[in-house]
Structure 1
Amino acid sequence: MALSRAAFDPCKRLPETRCSRYLVSLNHNFISNQRSGPGWHGLVFERTIRVGASVVGEHGDGQPQPAAIEGPLSSAVQFAAELYKFSRPHTMLGTALSVVSISLLALAGAEPWRAAITALLQALSSALLMNIAIVGINQLYDIEIDKVNKPYLPLASGTLTPAQGVAIVALSAGLAVWIGAASGSPALMATLLISLGLGVLYSVELPFMRWKRSPLLAAGCILAVRAIIVQLGFYTHMRAAIDTAASASATAAPALPAVASSGATAAGATAALSGTLNSLLALRPCVWFVVVFMLFFSIVIAFFKDLPDVVGDRRAGVRTLPVRLGENNVFLICVGMLTAAYAWAMAASLALPSSIAAKAVLFVGHGFMAALLLGRARAVDTRSKADLTAYYMFVWKLFYAEYLLIPMFG
């Protein structure tokens, strides 16, 4: 509840000291006033009125301003905003799209939708939580570097403390593992644990770790997760869930009283493992194409992500590929690799899908993205951090777009 501008009008006709007294006489909690220019037109008023736990403010010639809320609600909103930045939203979107896309590829006209939806929710929730844990570990060990390269991140800016970061990482990883264990899916559990292990090896400053210092090991971590583990893990998780549900439906017997036993539990675990192995052995050619294509894309992202961070990495002694070869050379390598990957995808789109419509959409879609990639690259100044950052985020958009096309290969 801000007061109207009329409350300030009489004050403008008074000397500055009497103006303050006038506002106080109105029982307003007058904070300060200052001149930003000659005459009363340059006088800037600032005041707040406390109403319960809220603080309502006005400044600048008495115009009402949005209220600043204090108390638990304000703290919760601010923490949620910092958690959003801490989660690195562009990686969260990539994870969500990859899980959904690969799961749809695995469906391939399957009937048991209840099992499919359950498997998708298990995979999506646990993958997003594990994503927060992995990017959080990286931020915890890169605070000093991020103060130069990414000062807007919560730990680098100080809006979150390292202790809060550790708590977020531990809670996220714990919940992800719990969901994986509760699902009873060996494929999902293995995907989560291997991803977490590689995230630790990539970021943690311990002997034989901190693989991000090595361009080859850093690229290996990222491509192993994005290109191999995610594709095969979530595809196998979905196929095993569908096959198990279909098998159970086909051999359904009259309902018997449910009796928990270790034998039944062991039989369920054995069936889940068997379903996982069968799904791996029965991978279709389209799945292998997706794995190899995303392998190229993941290598490019692994190299590209270090391009905007050359200054901070060089100061910290982190000899990434751009530090060693130079920004321009690595930029050209990345663009060339992605162009080759799109050309190969255009060829594969003519062979893999059975539908003529799918062939056409995939061919035109990959050609269009290749054109966008090359057209945008011409305008990039590799000496500009802003240009490299913008192009890197554009590559992530292409990465997202690919997951929109992947289900059509099935």
Structure 2
Amino acid sequence: MAAPPALRTASWRPPALLCSLLLFGHLALRACGPCRRSAAFSAPAPKRPYALRHLGQSWPRPPRLSHSGLPLPCRATRVAVPVAEDTSAQQLKTGIASYYDGLTPLWMDVWGEHLHHGFYGPRPSGAEPSYTGKGSLDEHRAAQVAMIDEVLAWARSAEDAEPRKILDVGCGVGGASRHLATAFPGASATGITLSPVQARTANTLSASEGLDSRTAFKVQDALAMPPNWTDSHDLVWSLESGEHMPDKPKFVSELARVTAPGGRAVVVTWVHRDLRPGEKKLRSWERTLLRLISSCYYLPEWTSAAEYERLCAASGLADVRRADWTDAIAPFWPAVIRSASRPRNFFRLLGTGVDGVRSAVAMFLMVLGYRMGLIKFGLLTARKPLRLAAAAGVDPPPSMVAATLVGERRLLPREEEASLSQESLAGDSRPSFLSALHRFSRPHTVRGTLIASLAAVVRAVQTSGGLPGGVGLVGAKIGGLVLSLLCANTVCVGVNQIYDVKVDRINKPFLPIASGEMSVSRAWGLASAALVVGVGLATSLFSPPLAAMYAAGLVLGSAYSVPPFRFRRFPLAALLIISCVRGCMLNFWVYHAVKEVLSLPFQWDPVVFFLTRFMTVFAAMIAVTKDLADVKGDVAGKIETFAASFGARSTATAAACVMALNYLSAIAEGLWRGARVFNVPAMVGGHCAALAYLIWSRWRLSQRRGEGADRFYMRIWDLFYFEYALYLFL
């Protein structure tokens, strides 16, 4: 496509002009005041402006604004938000909504209902060019409409069926959604945005055009779309919203998830140029320019079209195509600059505050980025493969079976459970009820209870000199002991899911009650059955004191979730309950119960005392870290947790420090008591290895975003399992 005469991409760069503009931009930013740092898991921002010496460091992710690449100024409203797992992500969403709530009326007064670039090049659809070069505002508005038509003509193929359901991700005031609904008379369109004002305005405009029955607009995070949207939209449309997504793999994964089999996803977004062969990163001046623009427009890290293409393929999408329309949008930014320089608009621009000045500077920096070939206007489209019918006897494509994975990684607790709900895609013959029951039991807690109880049983038998006569009866009683503990675990996690269903729909939508696979009445039936079996076994097999302790554990575990107590609302109470039940009571009860089954008097074992003390602290840290990835739902459900109150980074660091002290105390105790009590090599060496693994896990968390909290929590459970394995050798 030939470049329009208004602006061509230069193949050279004038160093003097470039340096001058970058210096001017930097000085303007300094003059306009500080730009605060709010990166994920970051400490509070230093109260100072960014300087050139900072630009070589990793760029912060301020709460920049979303959807359409509006080059107009942003109003940096400082809004108090709950401290979340990813603080910058929460601030980002709040900033997006606040910005567009204030900016939308101004933009619509100047540019109308379309909040994106215009198309000015030769039209792939074959239509007559809408832009003649006169530069009138009407022509630019027509170019914005032409952008929708031309992207659609470029993306769709001859075999594509007419869409019935359209999803517009980052819909603004619904201009593209209404245009698509008009282009496909049999389709309905849903638009999502983070701005309540935009959503209300979009619904009002649709009603005025008689399209309210076929279009709907709502406030919705594009990185966490509802579970029931999976495989439901024939056309998923993202027009200049991708550049504002802080987690690009998650963004592409969500687009792929909600696209129906056989449907099409279309992404139009700002990107930086592809890296050349041998390049590992952009050049220094290019990174500096992008950082200046990001600080003005509140953008996260930039990526390339090649990276988007890779993410699409990793998400299971097929027939991925991309294009560069940088030349075709060239007149747009100069037109924005001209519109902003008109007296009325200029004073309204200044009225937005210091961020208006930053945005004015960034307009020129964007033009420079395009001229220098650094910034590109990228298009991508891909199709989601059709699932092959099971009756045809053909295996489904692997891309439809696997979740989106970028690089190899082990299953996390929630990923493991969520994968079960996808097994029908892989031809799993198990009844869906068994899959739901498996997830209902929370497998990682079942493993923890099973390993802890079996290790305690083996230890008690070891210290008792082996099993006495009547091995069959003793074995049956020990089996009943383990089964009673598994029943207690099912009661506690089941009751928790019943009362946390609203929160789980946000935090853990894969759980069977939250996803609708299991009714609340059936969940009550399962929990009640487990309660009857567990209490029956405990009362029939053990003495009244042990049966009473078992019942007390059930009461505490249930009071964690059940109103009016619902101690999980209070972080300290939740910590004490979990540490008491899973740390103190579990280890003491199992050891005492096995002694009773073996008809031996209870004798206190210093190794058992050590494990009880150690695992009580450990269980307390499980109680703290389990909420790292659940902040969003906990905040929505008004549940106070350490992670929601102090932030995920601080909470994870504090938990890791407490666990490190716990390991150091174990090492010191092993050296102090020596062979009189412990197997010193196992006691010292095992806990040194566990401490090293803990430090490595915390370091890995600092290298990741989003799913890193889940990984860290899973590694805490790895250490939990390891401790009980080590227990057998102490």
TM-score scaled by structure 2?
Answer: 0.41
- Structure 2 unmatched ranges of 5 or more: 1-261, 265-317, 320-382, 402-422
Q: Tell me what 1:335 maps to.
A: 656
Q: Tell me what 2:671 maps to.
A: 350
Change (3 A) 1:99 1:352: farther
Q: Tell me what 1:270 maps to.
A: none
Counterparts of 1:148 and 1:47, CA distance in 2: 31
After superposition, the C-alpha distances for 1:99-120 in whole angstroms (9 at most, x for unaligned) are 1111222220424342653342
Counterparts of 1:205 and 1:365, CA distance in 2: 42
CA contact (8 A) 1:381 1:388 kept: no
Given candidates 612, 618, 628, the residue that maps to 1:291 is 612
Q: Between Structure 1 and Structure 2, which shows a larger proportion of helix residues?
A: 1
Change (3 A) 1:120 1:320: same
Is 1:216 the counterpart of 2:543 in the alignment? Answer: no
Change (3 A) 1:101 1:58: closer
Q: Which amino acid aligns with 1:237?
A: A
After superposition, the C-alpha distances for 1:359-380 in whole angstroms (9 at most, x for unaligned) are 2122111101100110121121
Is 1:326 the counterpart of 2:684 in the alignment? Answer: no
CA contact (8 A) 2:441 2:494 kept: yes
CA-CA distance at 1:319 after TM superposition: 1.1
Equivalent residues in 2 for 1:228-267, closer than 5 Å: 228-244=584-600
CA-CA distance at 1:58 after TM superposition: 4.8
Change (3 A) 1:284 1:157: same
Given candidates 452, 467, 470, the residue that maps to 1:112 is 467
CA contact (8 A) 2:478 2:597 kept: no
Q: Tell me what 1:197 maps to.
A: 555
Q: Which amino acid aligns with 1:87?
A: S
Counterparts of 2:263 and 2:486, CA distance in 1: 51
CA-CA distance at 1:47 after TM superposition: 8.3
After superposition, the C-alpha distances for 1:148-191 in whole angstroms (9 at most, x for unaligned) are 10111111111111111111101111111111122133354234
Q: Once superposed, what is the RMSD of the aligned Cα atoms?
A: 3.2
After superposition, the C-alpha distances for 1:113-163 in whole angstroms (9 at most, x for unaligned) are 426533421211111111111100000001110011011111111111111
Change (3 A) 1:315 1:35: closer
Provide the aligned length of Structure 1 versus Structure 2.
Answer: 323
Is 1:366 the counterpart of 2:687 in the alignment? Answer: yes
Given candidates 685, 699, 715, the residue that maps to 1:394 is 715
Counterparts of 1:129 and 1:188, CA distance in 2: 16
Given candidates 89, 92, 98, the residue that maps to 2:452 is 98
TM-score scaled by structure 1?
Answer: 0.71
Counterparts of 2:680 and 2:657, CA distance in 1: 24
Counterparts of 1:45 and 1:145, CA distance in 2: 33
CA-CA distance at 1:356 after TM superposition: 10
Q: Tell me what 1:56 maps to.
A: 391
343-352 vs 353-362, which moves further: 353-362
Equivalent residues in 2 for 1:15-94, closer than 5 Å: 56-58=391-393, 77-94=431-448
Q: Which amino acid aligns with 1:220?
A: L
Q: Tell me what 1:4 maps to.
A: none
Is 1:173 the counterpart of 2:531 in the alignment? Answer: yes
CA-CA distance at 1:382 after TM superposition: 8.7
CA-CA distance at 1:239 after TM superposition: 1.1
Given candidates 372, 384, 388, the residue that maps to 2:705 is 384
CA contact (8 A) 1:303 1:321 kept: yes
SS of the aligned residue for 1:350 comes to: helix
CA-CA distance at 1:347 after TM superposition: 2.1
The structure with more radius of gyration: 2
Given candidates 477, 483, 498, the residue that maps to 1:125 is 483
CA contact (8 A) 1:46 1:58 kept: no
Q: Which amino acid aligns with 1:88?
A: R
Q: Tell me what 1:148 maps to.
A: 506
Counterparts of 1:352 and 1:241, CA distance in 2: 30
Q: Which amino acid aligns with 2:391?
A: V
Counterparts of 1:165 and 1:184, CA distance in 2: 28
SS of the aligned residue for 1:408 comes to: coil
CA contact (8 A) 1:222 1:299 kept: yes
SS of the aligned residue for 1:236 comes to: helix
Counterparts of 1:202 and 1:217, CA distance in 2: 8
CA contact (8 A) 2:627 2:641 kept: yes
SS of the aligned residue for 1:308 comes to: coil
349-358 vs 363-372, which moves further: 349-358
Counterparts of 1:332 and 1:116, CA distance in 2: 45
After superposition, the C-alpha distances for 1:198-229 in whole angstroms (9 at most, x for unaligned) are 121100122xx000011111001101101111
Change (3 A) 1:322 1:405: same
Change (3 A) 1:229 1:60: closer
Change (3 A) 1:35 1:210: closer
CA-CA distance at 1:407 after TM superposition: 2.5
Percent of paired sites with the same residue = 27
Change (3 A) 1:59 1:120: closer
Change (3 A) 1:47 1:179: same
Counterparts of 2:674 and 2:467, CA distance in 1: 23
